[in-house]
Structure 1
Amino acid sequence: MSERAVPESVVAGRSGPDAVLVVVTANVIAEAVTTIAGAVGLPLVVLHHDDSDEPVADRLTGLDLTDRHAVVLTDHDAPGTAEVLRAALAGPAGYVGMMGSRRRAEGLFATLREEGVPEDALARLHVPVGLDVGGRSPGEMALSVVAEVSAWASGKLVRDGDRSRLTG
Protein backbone atom coordinates (compact mmCIF):
# COMPACT_ATOMS: atom_id res chain seq x y z
CA MET A 1 0.00 0.00 0.00
CA SER A 2 1.44 3.32 -0.90
CA GLU A 3 -0.99 5.45 1.10
CA ARG A 4 -2.39 4.75 4.54
CA ALA A 5 -5.80 5.80 5.69
CA VAL A 6 -4.66 5.16 9.27
CA PRO A 7 -1.28 6.00 10.83
CA GLU A 8 0.67 3.30 12.70
CA SER A 9 -0.80 4.22 16.08
CA VAL A 10 -4.32 5.54 16.38
CA VAL A 11 -6.31 5.95 19.57
CA ALA A 12 -9.99 6.81 19.76
CA GLY A 13 -12.16 7.16 22.86
CA ARG A 14 -14.82 4.67 23.94
CA SER A 15 -17.65 4.93 26.36
CA GLY A 16 -18.07 1.18 26.89
CA PRO A 17 -15.80 -1.57 28.23
CA ASP A 18 -12.14 -0.59 28.41
CA ALA A 19 -10.87 -2.85 25.64
CA VAL A 20 -8.19 -1.93 23.11
CA LEU A 21 -8.03 -3.41 19.61
CA VAL A 22 -4.56 -4.04 18.17
CA VAL A 23 -4.79 -4.46 14.39
CA VAL A 24 -1.76 -6.08 12.75
CA THR A 25 -0.98 -5.57 9.03
CA ALA A 26 -1.92 -3.08 6.36
CA ASN A 27 -4.58 -4.11 3.88
CA VAL A 28 -8.12 -3.13 2.89
CA ILE A 29 -9.60 -5.25 5.67
CA ALA A 30 -7.37 -3.58 8.28
CA GLU A 31 -8.41 -0.17 6.98
CA ALA A 32 -12.09 -1.12 7.18
CA VAL A 33 -11.59 -2.55 10.70
CA THR A 34 -10.00 0.71 11.86
CA THR A 35 -12.80 2.76 10.31
CA ILE A 36 -15.56 0.70 11.92
CA ALA A 37 -13.75 0.39 15.26
CA GLY A 38 -13.24 4.15 15.27
CA ALA A 39 -16.92 4.71 14.52
CA VAL A 40 -17.95 2.64 17.54
CA GLY A 41 -15.31 4.26 19.75
CA LEU A 42 -13.06 1.23 20.21
CA PRO A 43 -9.51 2.38 21.07
CA LEU A 44 -7.01 1.23 18.45
CA VAL A 45 -3.35 0.49 17.96
CA VAL A 46 -2.41 -0.33 14.37
CA LEU A 47 0.88 -2.07 13.54
CA HIS A 48 2.04 -2.32 9.93
CA HIS A 49 4.78 -4.69 8.80
CA ASP A 50 6.34 -2.11 6.50
CA ASP A 51 6.37 0.92 8.82
CA SER A 52 9.50 -0.03 10.75
CA ASP A 53 12.68 -2.05 10.53
CA GLU A 54 11.68 -3.66 13.84
CA PRO A 55 9.61 -6.84 13.35
CA VAL A 56 5.93 -6.51 14.23
CA ALA A 57 6.21 -9.35 16.76
CA ASP A 58 8.84 -7.35 18.64
CA ARG A 59 6.71 -4.19 18.52
CA LEU A 60 3.72 -6.20 19.73
CA THR A 61 5.74 -7.61 22.61
CA GLY A 62 6.87 -4.06 23.42
CA LEU A 63 3.28 -2.89 23.94
CA ASP A 64 1.97 -2.96 27.48
CA LEU A 65 -0.72 -5.52 26.67
CA THR A 66 -3.28 -6.60 29.24
CA ASP A 67 -6.18 -9.03 29.26
CA ARG A 68 -8.30 -6.15 27.88
CA HIS A 69 -6.39 -6.11 24.59
CA ALA A 70 -7.66 -7.86 21.48
CA VAL A 71 -4.97 -8.63 18.91
CA VAL A 72 -6.22 -9.23 15.37
CA LEU A 73 -3.97 -10.25 12.48
CA THR A 74 -5.80 -9.28 9.28
CA ASP A 75 -3.48 -11.05 6.82
CA HIS A 76 -2.50 -14.68 7.38
CA ASP A 77 0.17 -14.40 4.67
CA ALA A 78 1.89 -11.32 6.10
CA PRO A 79 5.60 -11.51 6.92
CA GLY A 80 6.22 -13.00 10.36
CA THR A 81 2.71 -14.36 10.85
CA ALA A 82 3.84 -17.24 13.08
CA GLU A 83 6.05 -14.90 15.10
CA VAL A 84 3.19 -12.41 15.61
CA LEU A 85 0.83 -15.19 16.72
CA ARG A 86 3.45 -16.69 19.03
CA ALA A 87 4.04 -13.27 20.64
CA ALA A 88 0.31 -12.56 20.98
CA LEU A 89 -0.46 -15.98 22.45
CA ALA A 90 2.50 -15.81 24.87
CA GLY A 91 1.28 -12.49 26.25
CA PRO A 92 -1.72 -11.54 28.34
CA ALA A 93 -4.00 -10.38 25.48
CA GLY A 94 -7.52 -11.51 26.27
CA TYR A 95 -8.44 -12.08 22.65
CA VAL A 96 -6.26 -13.18 19.72
CA GLY A 97 -7.67 -13.65 16.23
CA MET A 98 -6.51 -14.08 12.66
CA MET A 99 -8.13 -13.70 9.27
CA GLY A 100 -7.79 -16.84 7.24
CA SER A 101 -9.29 -20.17 6.46
CA ARG A 102 -9.35 -23.06 8.89
CA ARG A 103 -7.11 -24.96 6.46
CA ARG A 104 -4.47 -22.20 6.55
CA ALA A 105 -4.83 -22.13 10.33
CA GLU A 106 -4.14 -25.88 10.56
CA GLY A 107 -0.69 -25.33 9.06
CA LEU A 108 0.02 -22.48 11.46
CA PHE A 109 -1.26 -24.50 14.42
CA ALA A 110 1.09 -27.35 13.44
CA THR A 111 4.04 -24.95 13.19
CA LEU A 112 3.24 -23.34 16.53
CA ARG A 113 2.82 -26.75 18.19
CA GLU A 114 6.20 -27.85 16.84
CA GLU A 115 7.69 -24.67 18.32
CA GLY A 116 6.27 -25.56 21.73
CA VAL A 117 3.28 -23.23 21.98
CA PRO A 118 1.01 -24.84 24.60
CA GLU A 119 -2.41 -26.21 23.61
CA ASP A 120 -4.21 -23.89 26.05
CA ALA A 121 -2.62 -20.91 24.27
CA LEU A 122 -3.60 -22.26 20.84
CA ALA A 123 -7.16 -22.71 22.09
CA ARG A 124 -7.32 -18.92 22.59
CA LEU A 125 -6.77 -18.28 18.87
CA HIS A 126 -9.92 -17.32 16.95
CA VAL A 127 -9.61 -18.44 13.32
CA PRO A 128 -11.30 -17.30 11.26
CA VAL A 129 -11.68 -14.10 13.24
CA GLY A 130 -15.10 -12.44 13.33
CA LEU A 131 -18.70 -13.44 13.85
CA ASP A 132 -20.18 -15.36 10.92
CA VAL A 133 -22.39 -12.72 9.33
CA GLY A 134 -22.05 -14.26 5.87
CA GLY A 135 -20.05 -11.32 4.51
CA ARG A 136 -17.52 -11.52 1.69
CA SER A 137 -16.48 -7.90 1.09
CA PRO A 138 -13.67 -6.25 3.11
CA GLY A 139 -16.23 -4.04 4.85
CA GLU A 140 -18.44 -6.98 5.79
CA MET A 141 -15.45 -8.96 7.05
CA ALA A 142 -14.31 -5.94 9.08
CA LEU A 143 -17.80 -5.52 10.52
CA SER A 144 -17.73 -9.16 11.66
CA VAL A 145 -14.31 -8.63 13.31
CA VAL A 146 -15.37 -5.49 15.19
CA ALA A 147 -18.65 -7.14 16.20
CA GLU A 148 -16.80 -10.14 17.64
CA VAL A 149 -14.26 -7.99 19.49
CA SER A 150 -17.06 -5.79 20.85
CA ALA A 151 -18.98 -8.87 21.99
CA TRP A 152 -15.83 -10.21 23.66
CA ALA A 153 -15.20 -6.86 25.37
CA SER A 154 -18.77 -6.84 26.67
CA GLY A 155 -18.61 -10.41 27.96
CA LYS A 156 -21.14 -11.61 25.39
CA LEU A 157 -18.86 -13.93 23.41
CA VAL A 158 -18.46 -17.63 24.06
CA ARG A 159 -16.46 -20.26 22.18
CA ASP A 160 -18.47 -23.09 20.67
CA GLY A 161 -15.94 -25.57 19.31
CA ASP A 162 -13.80 -23.66 16.85
CA ARG A 163 -16.34 -20.85 16.34
CA SER A 164 -17.54 -18.02 18.52
CA ARG A 165 -21.14 -17.15 19.27
CA LEU A 166 -23.03 -14.59 21.26
CA THR A 167 -24.55 -15.34 24.61
CA GLY A 168 -27.77 -13.89 26.05
Structure 2
Amino acid sequence: MKCPFCKHPVTQVVDTRESDEGDSIRRRRRCVSCDKRFTTYEIVELRMPQVVKQNGMRSEFDPDKLRTSFKRALHKRPVSTEMVDAAIDHVTQKVFAFGEREIGSRQIGELVMKELLKLDKVAYIRFASVYKSFQDVDDFTDAVDAVRKPSARRRKTD
Protein backbone atom coordinates (compact mmCIF):
# COMPACT_ATOMS: atom_id res chain seq x y z
CA MET A 1 0.00 0.00 0.00
CA LYS A 2 1.50 3.34 -1.07
CA CYS A 3 1.67 6.17 1.43
CA PRO A 4 -0.98 8.79 0.48
CA PHE A 5 1.36 11.58 1.67
CA CYS A 6 4.75 10.85 0.15
CA LYS A 7 3.81 7.98 -2.21
CA HIS A 8 6.47 5.72 -0.76
CA PRO A 9 5.62 2.10 -1.67
CA VAL A 10 6.38 0.56 1.75
CA THR A 11 4.08 0.92 4.77
CA GLN A 12 3.68 -1.06 7.97
CA VAL A 13 0.45 -2.21 9.57
CA VAL A 14 0.35 -0.81 13.12
CA ASP A 15 -3.10 -2.02 14.19
CA THR A 16 -5.85 -4.22 12.71
CA ARG A 17 -9.47 -4.34 13.85
CA GLU A 18 -12.58 -6.03 12.54
CA SER A 19 -15.74 -3.90 12.31
CA ASP A 20 -18.61 -4.57 14.71
CA GLU A 21 -20.65 -6.11 11.89
CA GLY A 22 -17.70 -8.28 10.82
CA ASP A 23 -17.92 -7.16 7.19
CA SER A 24 -14.78 -5.04 7.02
CA ILE A 25 -11.31 -4.71 8.52
CA ARG A 26 -9.79 -1.40 9.60
CA ARG A 27 -6.01 -1.12 9.43
CA ARG A 28 -3.84 1.67 10.85
CA ARG A 29 -0.68 2.01 8.78
CA ARG A 30 2.57 3.89 9.13
CA CYS A 31 4.79 4.99 6.29
CA VAL A 32 8.41 3.85 6.74
CA SER A 33 9.65 6.90 4.85
CA CYS A 34 7.75 9.93 6.23
CA ASP A 35 6.47 8.25 9.43
CA LYS A 36 2.93 9.56 8.89
CA ARG A 37 -0.04 7.37 9.80
CA PHE A 38 -3.22 6.67 7.86
CA THR A 39 -6.19 4.30 7.93
CA THR A 40 -7.31 1.80 5.30
CA TYR A 41 -10.42 -0.37 5.13
CA GLU A 42 -10.65 -3.80 3.62
CA ILE A 43 -14.05 -5.05 2.44
CA VAL A 44 -15.25 -7.95 0.33
CA GLU A 45 -16.19 -7.04 -3.20
CA LEU A 46 -18.70 -9.37 -4.79
CA ARG A 47 -19.09 -9.23 -8.55
CA MET A 48 -22.54 -10.01 -9.81
CA PRO A 49 -22.79 -11.54 -13.28
CA GLN A 50 -23.67 -9.56 -16.38
CA VAL A 51 -27.27 -10.00 -17.51
CA VAL A 52 -27.63 -11.11 -21.13
CA LYS A 53 -30.92 -9.90 -22.53
CA GLN A 54 -32.86 -11.67 -25.27
CA ASN A 55 -31.55 -9.28 -27.93
CA GLY A 56 -27.96 -10.10 -26.92
CA MET A 57 -27.32 -6.83 -25.09
CA ARG A 58 -25.53 -7.03 -21.75
CA SER A 59 -26.10 -4.96 -18.64
CA GLU A 60 -25.15 -4.96 -14.98
CA PHE A 61 -27.30 -6.99 -12.61
CA ASP A 62 -29.51 -4.46 -10.84
CA PRO A 63 -31.53 -5.41 -7.74
CA ASP A 64 -33.56 -2.21 -8.22
CA LYS A 65 -34.94 -3.68 -11.45
CA LEU A 66 -36.01 -6.74 -9.48
CA ARG A 67 -37.73 -4.49 -6.96
CA THR A 68 -39.60 -2.69 -9.75
CA SER A 69 -40.80 -6.01 -11.18
CA PHE A 70 -41.97 -7.22 -7.78
CA LYS A 71 -43.71 -3.88 -7.08
CA ARG A 72 -45.60 -3.99 -10.37
CA ALA A 73 -46.70 -7.57 -9.90
CA LEU A 74 -47.65 -7.03 -6.25
CA HIS A 75 -49.44 -3.70 -6.75
CA LYS A 76 -52.34 -3.53 -4.24
CA ARG A 77 -51.66 -7.06 -3.00
CA PRO A 78 -51.38 -7.91 0.72
CA VAL A 79 -47.67 -8.72 0.80
CA SER A 80 -45.35 -7.02 3.30
CA THR A 81 -42.24 -5.12 2.32
CA GLU A 82 -40.17 -7.52 4.43
CA MET A 83 -41.43 -10.47 2.39
CA VAL A 84 -40.62 -8.66 -0.86
CA ASP A 85 -37.13 -7.78 0.42
CA ALA A 86 -36.56 -11.42 1.38
CA ALA A 87 -37.67 -12.58 -2.07
CA ILE A 88 -35.34 -10.10 -3.78
CA ASP A 89 -32.47 -11.24 -1.54
CA HIS A 90 -33.26 -14.85 -2.38
CA VAL A 91 -33.19 -14.16 -6.15
CA THR A 92 -29.97 -12.14 -5.79
CA GLN A 93 -28.29 -14.91 -3.78
CA LYS A 94 -29.33 -17.53 -6.33
CA VAL A 95 -27.96 -15.41 -9.19
CA PHE A 96 -24.68 -15.00 -7.32
CA ALA A 97 -24.57 -18.70 -6.39
CA PHE A 98 -24.62 -19.71 -10.07
CA GLY A 99 -21.00 -18.55 -10.08
CA GLU A 100 -21.18 -17.52 -13.72
CA ARG A 101 -19.88 -14.35 -15.30
CA GLU A 102 -23.08 -13.99 -17.31
CA ILE A 103 -26.69 -14.99 -16.74
CA GLY A 104 -29.63 -14.86 -19.11
CA SER A 105 -32.51 -12.54 -18.31
CA ARG A 106 -34.79 -15.57 -18.81
CA GLN A 107 -33.15 -17.36 -15.87
CA ILE A 108 -33.71 -14.32 -13.67
CA GLY A 109 -37.33 -14.14 -14.82
CA GLU A 110 -37.85 -17.79 -13.86
CA LEU A 111 -36.40 -17.13 -10.39
CA VAL A 112 -38.72 -14.14 -9.96
CA MET A 113 -41.71 -16.26 -10.99
CA LYS A 114 -40.84 -18.92 -8.40
CA GLU A 115 -40.64 -16.29 -5.67
CA LEU A 116 -43.89 -14.62 -6.74
CA LEU A 117 -45.65 -17.97 -6.71
CA LYS A 118 -44.64 -18.36 -3.06
CA LEU A 119 -45.72 -14.80 -2.18
CA ASP A 120 -48.98 -14.29 -4.05
CA LYS A 121 -50.66 -16.25 -6.82
CA VAL A 122 -52.36 -13.18 -8.33
CA ALA A 123 -49.01 -11.41 -8.57
CA TYR A 124 -47.56 -14.54 -10.15
CA ILE A 125 -50.27 -14.49 -12.84
CA ARG A 126 -49.70 -10.78 -13.46
CA PHE A 127 -45.97 -11.27 -13.90
CA ALA A 128 -46.40 -14.43 -15.98
CA SER A 129 -48.84 -12.69 -18.34
CA VAL A 130 -46.15 -10.17 -19.30
CA TYR A 131 -43.13 -12.44 -18.96
CA LYS A 132 -44.65 -15.24 -21.05
CA SER A 133 -46.44 -12.83 -23.43
CA PHE A 134 -49.94 -14.22 -22.97
CA GLN A 135 -51.87 -13.82 -26.23
CA ASP A 136 -55.42 -14.72 -25.23
CA VAL A 137 -57.71 -15.77 -22.40
CA ASP A 138 -56.70 -19.42 -22.77
CA ASP A 139 -53.15 -18.52 -21.72
CA PHE A 140 -54.53 -16.95 -18.54
CA THR A 141 -56.79 -19.93 -17.90
CA ASP A 142 -53.88 -22.35 -18.27
CA ALA A 143 -51.76 -20.31 -15.86
CA VAL A 144 -54.56 -20.08 -13.31
CA ASP A 145 -55.19 -23.83 -13.56
CA ALA A 146 -51.48 -24.46 -13.01
CA VAL A 147 -51.42 -22.51 -9.72
CA ARG A 148 -54.73 -23.73 -8.33
CA LYS A 149 -54.63 -26.00 -5.34
CA PRO A 150 -55.11 -29.68 -6.21
CA SER A 151 -58.29 -29.84 -4.10
CA ALA A 152 -59.80 -26.92 -6.05
CA ARG A 153 -59.05 -28.69 -9.33
CA ARG A 154 -60.73 -31.87 -8.08
CA ARG A 155 -63.86 -29.96 -6.99
CA LYS A 156 -64.12 -28.30 -10.37
CA THR A 157 -64.02 -31.63 -12.22
CA ASP A 158 -66.52 -33.37 -9.88
TM-score, reference length from structure 2: 0.23
Does 1 or 2 have the higher relative contact order (CA < 8 Å, sep 6+)?
1
